[in-house]
Structure 1
């Protein structure tokens, strides 16, 4: 199947400026957790199982005022865009924060980790006491909820405790299920990780 270029409405133009960015919304109290040839659909699907086709990684036309290289997360539509030259972007399907845990604003990628350790914050442990056994950290691996890679979001030089990360629950892509972090398929977070530098700006739309 051909990975076609998808037309995205020009209504997106200036989207970042028109939407309210809750610049103070990176609340620590809510935190949880060059052109490349893409794989064929068959290998992509077999690696991650069935996925709604609209959430498969693809290149699209994307009108925005953000600079090339910027990561834009459209939480309402469950997409993450990496802005490219010429009005194009690579688009990934994502899972987002559930009601009461969604967030928005600007940050930068302050750290990157392969097979990251997951440490649930105290407030999460208070809500889910069964996670207390991981208070010292859960080692990276296939069962780790952060998946294969994590990009740590910083603001003002401080870790916000929010991440762009993989997941061991592919069915959560397209859903609002997380404690605020943005989830991608493991194959997608690996792809994003390899093309993302420390300091990359990230915009999460309300």
Structure 2
């Protein structure tokens, strides 16, 4: 894998990304078992599968272990005064997303990816302002400044699209809860600020949530 001081060329980036992204889409169970953070080789790959998952997006000195073993159910009451429109709690420490429905009949707990560094992390209260099936993707101005070789736009359904199959827009500019075609990201510090989920999990959240669903990130 290339380092930030020796960036991957656009041609290498696109060639590698398509190959890895297609493999992840074709066999997600296998993709989840390939862990670049353990030191095991990635067969046939030399980088992240999407623009949001490249070498520049994580720091090896940080704790990038999966946290699934630390998952535990939460009660909504310490975090929300009510469940109007439902509620989402994103726990950055355990890299988990909790959802409670407004009528309290549904509770979900899912693993997530989280921002790679404190300067990309935003915490506090927000809400879902838009739901998108088949989101497109474009790098933010800051992303493009750091990575000028990245494409200006990636259409929905493209293996290079770091938004996956569904996206929930938050009231904070550029922040989303979204899927990912690169399943290696989940459970790790690996994003530019968004909260990533497996595509099958974000589909559930897309179906369960509504515009106005409360969100707390802490």
TM-score (normalizing by structure 1): 0.66
* Aligned Cα root-mean-square deviation (Å): 2.6
How far apart in 2 are the matches of 1:96 and 1:103?
Answer: 10
* 1:121 aligns with one of 113, 120, 140: 140
Say if 1:86 and 1:113 are closer, same or farther in 2 by CA, change over 3 A: closer
Give CA deviations for 1:149-189 in whole Å, capped at 9, x if unaligned: 000001xxxx5210000001101100001000000000000
- The answer to whether residue 175 in structure 2 is matched with residue 175 in structure 1 is no
How far apart in 1 are the matches of 2:189 and 2:180?
Answer: 13
Query: Which residue is equivalent to 2:154?
Result: 138
- The answer to whether residue 184 in structure 2 is matched with residue 204 in structure 1 is no
TM-score (normalizing by structure 2): 0.62
Q: What runs of 5+ residues in structure 2 fail to find an aligned partner?
A: 1-25, 34-65
Say if 1:168 and 1:86 are closer, same or farther in 2 by CA, change over 3 A: closer
Report how far residue 89 of structure 1 moved: 2.6
How far apart in 2 are the matches of 1:163 and 1:86?
Answer: 24
How far apart in 2 are the matches of 1:152 and 1:87?
Answer: 24
Q: What runs of 5+ residues in structure 1 fail to find an aligned partner?
A: 1-45
Structure with the bigger percentage of strand:
1
Say if 1:109 and 1:49 are closer, same or farther in 2 by CA, change over 3 A: same
- The answer to whether residue 99 in structure 2 is matched with residue 82 in structure 1 is yes
What does residue range 24-103 of structure 1 map to in structure 2 within 5 Å? 48-49=28-29, 51=32, 55=68, 61-65=73-77, 66=80, 67-68=82-83, 69-84=86-101, 89-99=107-117, 100-103=119-122
* 2:204 aligns with one of 191, 196, 200: 191
Report how far residue 62 of structure 1 moved: 2.0
How far apart in 2 are the matches of 1:141 and 1:83?
Answer: 29
SS for the counterpart of 2:200 is: helix
How far apart in 2 are the matches of 1:102 and 1:189?
Answer: 20
Query: Which residue is equivalent to 2:164?
Result: 147
SS for the counterpart of 2:174 is: strand
How far apart in 2 are the matches of 1:88 and 1:113?
Answer: 22
Say if 1:172 and 1:123 are closer, same or farther in 2 by CA, change over 3 A: same
